[in-house]
């Protein structure tokens, strides 16, 4: 009514009145003195009180002025009366209560056994964090800010995730993933609950859909589930203390809890399934889809749980479902429905969902990936840590492929622990990953040698066909070549490995179309080592390897775990970054342990060029062809030439051409003649061999033809090629010649001579 004066009615504050001078709790006294000194605007002291039981608390009652506009979303008044409870032990956050009788139900209220007065939830931080910056003025301003933002409807922002409906219990109950069916649904079922107690006496309950074979035969509790209709946040007014309270609360969500429990208990009795659970408490798991407003779309799901203080057998009696006579359970034919569970006391549990791929991604701030499997070849020290890192970020499922057994010396750097010594690395890592993500499909182990799979060859081939990404962490050139060349599969290959000294991490990633395959990326990586001066010592072995057994091959590199852990972190990040990018690329991360820094050297990838010559396949890239054409163009009208550097895979009859060395200064270059010199050439080839640990070296010759000519070989060229073949035949290698002609065309010629 226009001109009327609204008079607020307040609840009485607890305790008995005392004078400000009688306050003994330091924070209560500080607040009171600050207010009385007139140094705090917008707050007025009403009274001081003390409550002796159950704990000594001192209560400061104040009137707080709220900065709010004329239009409000929630009914927050210009002046709100607030009671602040300070605890004598100073180990808990002061409790802030709104004393107005009709203070509204709003987000961010703490649940209490009584609905009124309502408790304001001011902090996300613990009290240990809050008291580091505590002042009386700061605390009052926090209350005023809470009230002002709530009045405007801005304390809980529109884009803020919905807060949990119940967040007040300290004892946790872990719920299995299998409990949850389709989106916004939970399976109506019975669960066995087992207790875990740590050395500090803290208890956690673990729920399972079936009786645990690896646990005690008798569960600690039995649980059942109920599901309600979608509800907005903020509907809980007080903490249910009895089964009747919970029944009344859940009625809002369309759940008839008492009738549901009566029917479940009768069914369990008919099934004769009470033997192991009659004397243990009952846990009720409530699943409630959440909306932001009434009738809105479901945005999240909430789970909350209550455990009876009495046994299941007694709960059945309290609901008049059965009677226990002489140790036997006898059903009640005509139950007394006036028994509403008032005698069944409940205590809340804090529900947690078992760890999963979804949780892993969310906790890492990553989107949930589609179920795209990854095959990891090699699960050694670096490999196992990379896989575990990626699992903890939601990357699954995996196939892990490794033939090796975990030995004691592996524990210095491996993700596995001592219990796994003597087990196949793949099997043990699969067990760890599966247990962590609570999913039997997390990791499929395959204990097999990629190079010699034997009777498991077809299975291995099928794995590579079915899985879209192969992560090679074997640090083995033969394995990488086999993956690139010998297994027909469209799977993208990505290779991740350490240099021999463990200081540098290397990533070679194919493009998604495999236009630049892994074996060619390997060659381009060698070229990067030659071209980048900072990488010239990259493949040199530093440190003395440690012998772990008596065989001549029983040696292990000397690399500290902190360095291995650093590379594993970079490696897992680099892999998931590469996975999200379709292009091929090469990267080397150089760690500088003394400076505690890492430098990234990025190489360039170039399109593959392939030519077949008889039984041989010549592989090079556009970068090299451009180099040959450029060197030819610079020397025109004279011919020029030089040496080709690369690698020859005799097993697969492949010739990889990586580098061309320019014409030595003592060469003869005429318009129609080229005779290569040798000054400095031997030393340069030797340096390249040292930089690349012998992986690439001299493989043949190249020269150019004059302008107006193509790259068809002359009679002299054929004689030189035959001479090359004859010289190389001693080592069982082919003669290789490249001729650069007009229009950037380069032709390749190979000849092989057999001795005798």
d(CA 66, CA 68) in angstroms, rounded, equals 6
Block residue for tokens 């050139």:
477
Question: What are the residues facing 226 on neighbouring strands?
Answer: 286
Residues 530, 417, single domain; the answer is: yes
Residues 420 and 638: their CA atoms lie apart, in Å, by: 68
Q: Checking DSSP bridges between strand 172-175 and strand 697-704, what pairing results, if any?
A: unpaired
Domain boundary among 569, 603, 637: 603
Contact 724, 736 (CB under 8 A): yes
* Pair type for strands 190-197 and 221-227: antiparallel
Residue 158 in any domain: the answer is no
Does residue 361 lie within any of the structural domains? no
Q: Is residue 564 situated within a structural domain?
A: yes
User: In whole angstroms, how far apart are CA 380 and each of 117, 472, 743?
Assistant: 60, 11, 49
Question: 386 and 240, same structural domain?
Answer: no
Q: Are 304 and 348 in contact (CB under 8 A)?
A: yes
Per the structure, the count of domains in the chain is: 4
Which two tokens mark 271?
């099934």
Tens digit of pLDDT for each residue in 419-450? 999 999 999 999 999 999 988 889 999 999 99
Residue spans of the chain under pLDDT 70 = 1-6, 156-169, 182-184, 211-217, 233-237, 543-557, 755-756
Assess whether 126 and 247 both reside in one domain: no
pLDDT at 465: 96
- 29 and 108 in one domain? yes
Same domain, 622 and 538: no
Q: What is the DSSP secondary structure assignment for residue 18, as one 8-state letter?
A: E
Pick the last residue of a domain from 354, 379, 404.
354
Residue 5 lies in a domain: no
Are 482 and 627 found together in one domain?
no
Tell me which residue range forms the domain holding 594.
Answer: 371-603
Domain assignment of residue 731, yes or no: yes
User: For residue 164, which of 351, 354, 297 has the smallest C-alpha distance?
Assistant: 351
341 and 206 share a domain?
yes
Question: Are 528 and 635 within one domain?
Answer: no
Distance, CA of 443 to CA of 650 (rounded, Å): 36
Please give the biggest Cα pair distance in the chain. 120
- 386 and 339 in one domain? no
Angle (CA) 208-210-214 rounded to 5° is: 80
Q: Are residues 401 and 452 in the same domain?
A: yes
Residue 555 and residue 649 share a domain: no
Tokens of 663: 């014409």
For residue 348, give both structure tokens: 């809340």
Give the pLDDT of residue 168. 57
**Does residue 528 belong to any structural domain of this protein?**
yes
Residue 1 located in a structural domain: no
The pTM assigned to this predicted structure is: 0.83
Tell me, yes or no, whether 64 lies in a domain: yes
N-terminal to C-terminal alpha carbon distance within the chain? 119
* Cα–Cα dist 455/41, whole Å: 84
Q: For residue 193, is the peptide bond before it cis, meaning its omega torsion is within 30 degrees of 0? A: no
Q: How many helices (H) and strands (E) does the chain have?
A: 16, 36
**What's the CA angle centered on 322, arms 319 and 327, to 5 degrees?**
130
Q: What are phi and psi of 445, to 5 degrees?
A: -85, 145
Last residue of a domain, one of 104, 120, 152: 152
Please give the pLDDT value at position 643.
Answer: 96
Torsion of CA 65, 69, 73, 76, to 10 degrees: 20
Mark whether 467 and 592 lie in a shared domain. yes
The domain spanning residue 738 has which CATH number? 3.40.140.10
């Amino acid at each position: 009514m226009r001109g009327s004066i609204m008079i607020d009615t307040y609840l009485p504050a607890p305790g008995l009145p005392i004078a400000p001078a009688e306050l003994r709790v330091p924070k209560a006294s500080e607040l009171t003195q600050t207010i009385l000194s007139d140094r705090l605007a917008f707050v007025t002291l009403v009274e001081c009180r003390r409550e002796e039981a159950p704990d000594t608390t001192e209560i400061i009652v104040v009137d707080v002025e709220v900065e709010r506009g004329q239009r409000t979303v929630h009914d927050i008044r210009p002046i709100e009366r607030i009671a602040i409870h300070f605890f004598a032990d100073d180990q808990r956050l002061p409790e802030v209560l709104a004393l107005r009788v009709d203070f509204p139900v709003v987000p961010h209220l703490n649940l209490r056994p009584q609905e009124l007065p309502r408790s304001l939830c001011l902090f996300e931080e613990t009290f240990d964090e809050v008291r580091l910056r505590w002042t009386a003025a700061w605390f009052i301003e926090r209350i005023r800010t809470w009230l002002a933002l709530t009045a405007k409807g801005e304390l809980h922002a529109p884009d803020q995730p919905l807060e949990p409906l119940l967040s007040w219990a300290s004892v946790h109950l872990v719920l299995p993933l299998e409990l949850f069916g389709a989106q916004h649904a939970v399976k109506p079922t019975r669960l066995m609950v087992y207790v875990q107690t740590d050395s500090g006496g803290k208890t956690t309950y673990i729920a399972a859909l079936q009786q645990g074979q690896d646990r005690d035969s008798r569960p600690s509790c039995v649980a059942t589930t109920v599901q309600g209709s979608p509800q907005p946040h903020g509907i809980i007014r007080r903490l249910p203390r009895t089964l009747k309270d919970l029944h009344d609360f859940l009625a809002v969500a369309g759940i008839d809890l008492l009738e549901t429990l009566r029917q479940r208990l009768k069914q369990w009795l008919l099934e004769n399934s009470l033997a192991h659970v009659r004397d243990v408490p009952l846990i009720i798991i409530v699943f409630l889809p959440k909306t932001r407003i009434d009738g809105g779309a479901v945005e999240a799901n909430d789970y909350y749980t209550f455990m009876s203080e009495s046994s299941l057998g007694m709960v059945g009696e309290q609901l008049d479902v059965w009677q226990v006579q002489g140790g036997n359970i006898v059903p009640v034919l005509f139950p007394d429905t006036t028994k509403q569970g008032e005698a069944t006391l409940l205590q809340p549990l804090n529900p947690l969902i078992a760890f999963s791929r979804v949780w892993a991604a969310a906790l890492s701030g990553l989107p949930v990936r589609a179920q795209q499997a990854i095959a990891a070849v090699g699960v050694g020290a670096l490999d196992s840590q990379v896989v575990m890192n990626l699992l903890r970020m939601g990357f699954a499922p995996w196939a892990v492929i490794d033939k090796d057994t975990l030995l004691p010396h592996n524990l210095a750097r491996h993700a596995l622990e001592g219990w796994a010594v003597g087990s196949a690395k793949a099997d043990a890592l699969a067990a760890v990953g599966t247990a962590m993500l609570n999913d039997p499909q997390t990791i499929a182990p395959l204990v097999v040698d990629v190079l010699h799979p034997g009777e498991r060859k077809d299975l291995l081939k099928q794995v590579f066909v079915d899985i879209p990404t192969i992560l090679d962490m074997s640090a083995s050139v033969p394995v990488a070549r086999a993956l690139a060349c010998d297994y027909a599969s469209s799977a993208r290959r990505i290779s991740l490995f350490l240099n021999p000294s463990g200081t540098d991490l290397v990533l070679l990633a194919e493009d998604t179309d495999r236009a630049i395959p892994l074996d060619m990326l390997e060659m381009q990586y060698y070229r990067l080592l030659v071209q980048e001066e900072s990488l010239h010592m990259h493949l040199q072995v530093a440190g003395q390897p440690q012998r772990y057994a008596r065989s001549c091959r029983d040696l292990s590199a000397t690399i500290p775990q902190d360095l291995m852990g650093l590379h594993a972190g970079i490696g897992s990040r680099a892999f998931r970054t590469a996975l999200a990018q379709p292009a091929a690329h090469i990267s080397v991360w150089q760690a500088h342990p003394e400076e505690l820094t890492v430098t990234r050297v990025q190489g360039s990838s170039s399109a593959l060029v392939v030519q077949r010559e008889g039984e041989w396949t010549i592989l090079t890239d556009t970068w090299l062809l451009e180099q040959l054409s450029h060197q030819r163009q610079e020397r025109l009208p004279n011919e020029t030439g030089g040496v080709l550097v690369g690698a020859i895979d005799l097993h697969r009859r492949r010739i990889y051409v990586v580098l061309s060395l320019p014409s030595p200064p003592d060469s003869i270059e005429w318009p129609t003649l080229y005779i290569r010199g040798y000054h400095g050439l031997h030393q340069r080839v030797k340096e390249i061999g040292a930089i690349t640990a012998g992986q690439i070296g001299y493989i043949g010759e190249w020269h150019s033809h004059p302008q107006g000519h193509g790259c068809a070989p002359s009679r002299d060229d054929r004689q030189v090629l035959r001479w090359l073949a004859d010289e190389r035949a001693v080592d069982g290698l082919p003669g290789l010649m490249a001729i650069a002609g007009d229009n950037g065309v380069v032709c390749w010629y190979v000849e092989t001579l057999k001795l005798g």
